[in-house]
Amino acid sequence: MQVLETVASRFGHELSVEEHQAGWCAYESTGTPLPDSTLAACVRGPAVFLGAVGDPRADGLPPGKRPEAALLKLRSTLGCFANLRPARVDEELVDMSALKREIAAGCDMVIVRELTGGLYYGQPRSRDADRAVNTLVYTKAEVERVAKVAFDLAHGRRRHVTSVDKANVLEVSQLWRAVVEEVAKGYPDVKLDHMFVDRAAMELVTAPKQFDVILTENLFGDILSDEASAMCGSLGLLASASVGGKVGLYEPVHGSAPDIAGKGIANPIAAIRSAALMLSYSFSLHAEAAAVERAVSKALADGLRTADLVPRGMASVSTTTFANAVAEAVK
Ligand code: IPM
Ligand code: MN
């Protein structure tokens, strides 16, 4: 929020913000993780900037009462079917990558994760004492619209889409593949590859430079994006934009990290970069978004690191110090 305020004052914009509860805090005060008032405010838009949700105190609760339910309902109600998760290895952080320097350096990809379908939402779903059911279902229309987002994005990048599926086993993936092929015909200058998800998981850590845009379904995208964060150096770095509906939803890829809550050591980069995506996608403020991105790079280049970005035991700065530095650099 501090970085957004600085952007507004430097570029002469008026920043109008309403705060609403979602997740555990909402459940505690109202008995539901996503109160109607929150949902109504989000639907009014024009953009939702979301803090991470999740709390171990909710572990015993049924799925519909858990903090995550707020997120899933928001995503589907807002119709944000395409979740863009950029994963670029920052020059300054190559040595924090879980991968060898020569494998990680220069990697720059975007994972386009389908966000409102698949196993997360499929019906029927149920759980009895000794049997549980979830349903993997995709329609042609659902695949088509997210594939178009991926191809449009690739068109403005290195013009390469890798569609990730499990078509050697799953009918849903066979449909996915066929529809993606169809969509690809409309983009003759974008190269399309298909890859099975198990192989993709392996290539992501052995040869990640080959990826430009990865297009995949909801659950595979969830898993592969956390894997990509290890390539970047920390889960605290990855931002996301969920688009496709009237209102965009912007959230860090990481969870709420309850183990470090209140310690002032969380990495704010994912949230700050999510704000930059919001400036760009919801408000078409591209210069402002670029200024935020540059400010993050400057703070890193100046040697500032939160605890997740230094070898264990080395000195680090707090969340606030890092965010202050980014805001300073935006000025
Ligand atoms: C993510 C998160 C969520 C997801 C959880 C919190 C429900 O892991 O955004 O990647 O699985 O989509
Ligand atoms: Mn996830």
- CB of 33 closer than 6 angstroms to any ligand 1 atom: no
Choosing from 27, 55, 73, 120, which is the catalytic residue? Answer: 120
Query: pLDDT tens per residue, the chain (331 residues)?
Result: 999 999 999 999 999 999 999 999 999 999 999 999 999 999 999 999 999 999 999 999 998 999 999 999 999 999 999 999 999 999 999 999 999 999 999 999 999 999 999 999 999 999 999 999 999 999 999 999 999 999 999 999 999 999 999 999 999 999 999 999 999 999 999 999 999 999 999 999 999 999 999 999 999 999 999 999 999 999 999 999 999 999 999 999 999 999 999 999 999 999 999 999 999 999 999 999 999 999 999 999 999 999 999 988 889 999 999 999 999 999 9
- CB of 68 closer than 6 angstroms to any ligand 1 atom: yes
- CB of 142 closer than 6 angstroms to any ligand 1 atom: no
Q: Does domain 81-236 have CATH number 3.40.718.10?
A: yes
Q: Is 308 a catalytic residue?
A: no
Q: Is 263 a catalytic residue?
A: no
- CB of 222 closer than 6 angstroms to any ligand 1 atom: yes
What is the position in ligand 1's atom list of the atom closest to the CA of 83? 9
Q: Which of 84, 222, 238 to mutate to test the pocket of ligand 1 (most atoms within 8 A of CB)?
A: 222
- CB of 217 closer than 6 angstroms to any ligand 1 atom: no
Which ligand ends up closest to the CA of 240? 1
Task: Give pTM, 2 decimals.
Answer: 0.96
What is the position in ligand 1's atom list of the atom closest to the CA of 52? 6
* CA 309 / ligand 2 centre spacing (Å): 20
* CA 217 / ligand 2 centre spacing (Å): 13
Q: What is the pLDDT of residue 83?
A: 98
Q: What is the pLDDT of residue 314?
A: 87
Q: What is the pLDDT of residue 311?
A: 87
* CA 212 / ligand 2 centre spacing (Å): 20
Q: Is 187 a catalytic residue?
A: no
Which ligand ends up closest to the CA of 22? 1
Q: Which of 34, 50, 55, 68 to mutate to test the pocket of ligand 1 (most atoms within 8 A of CB)?
A: 68
Q: Which residues, in sequence order, are CB contacts of 49 under 8 Å at separation 6+?
A: 4, 250, 251, 274, 275, 278
Give dist(CA 97, CA 265) in Å, integer. 19
- CB of 54 closer than 6 angstroms to any ligand 1 atom: yes
* CA 13 / ligand 1 centre spacing (Å): 32
Q: Which residue CA neighbors atom 6 of ligand 1 most closely?
A: 68
Q: What is the pLDDT of residue 216?
A: 98
- CB of 253 closer than 6 angstroms to any ligand 1 atom: yes
Which ligand ends up closest to the CA of 85? 1
Question: Which of 76, 77, 75, 62 is CA-nearest to residue 32?
Answer: 62
* CA 168 / ligand 1 centre spacing (Å): 26
Q: Which residue CA neighbors atom 1 of ligand 1 most closely?
A: 253
Domain chopping of the chain, boundaries: 81-236
Q: What is the pLDDT of residue 43?
A: 98
